Homo-oligomer: A and B are copies of this chain.
Amino acid sequence: MTAKPIPKVRLQAQAKAGEIIEIKTLIAHEMESGQRKDVSGQIIPRKIINRFIAAFNGKPVFEAEWHPAISANPYQSFFFKAVESGEFTFTWKDDDGSEYVTVNKLTVA
């Protein structure tokens, strides 16, 4: 049994209108590829996070599809043009149907 994955997100809380900000995310997850065998020679079933979605005020901004060759604890960053204040929603989708969600506010002044 493994612990529930915990996502971490880093971004500045405030930005100027038009500023480019970097959003950095990381989620602790084994990203089991489905190609490894256990000590008895049995295939260890695939279990990865297959999708990451970043939305701002309900609109998608950035999405990633991850395949089994992506390494454990997937890191994802992207650069965003800040225009207005609002809320980011970050969602990670697991092969097992679980979703891990975090929310971060951004104030544009």
Footprint of B on A, CB under 8 Å? 20, 33, 35, 56, 59-67, 69-71, 74-81, 83
Contacts and interface: CB of A to CB of B under 8 A. Distances in A.
Majority secondary structure of chain A interface residues (helix, strand, loop or mixed): strand
A65 B66 CA distance: 12
Contacts of A63: 64-65
Nearest to A75: B79
A62 B66 CA distance: 5
B83 A79 contact: no
Given A79-B74, A81-B33, A65 B67 contact: no
B70 A61 contact: yes
Given A67-B60, A67-B62, A69-B56, A77 B79 contact: no
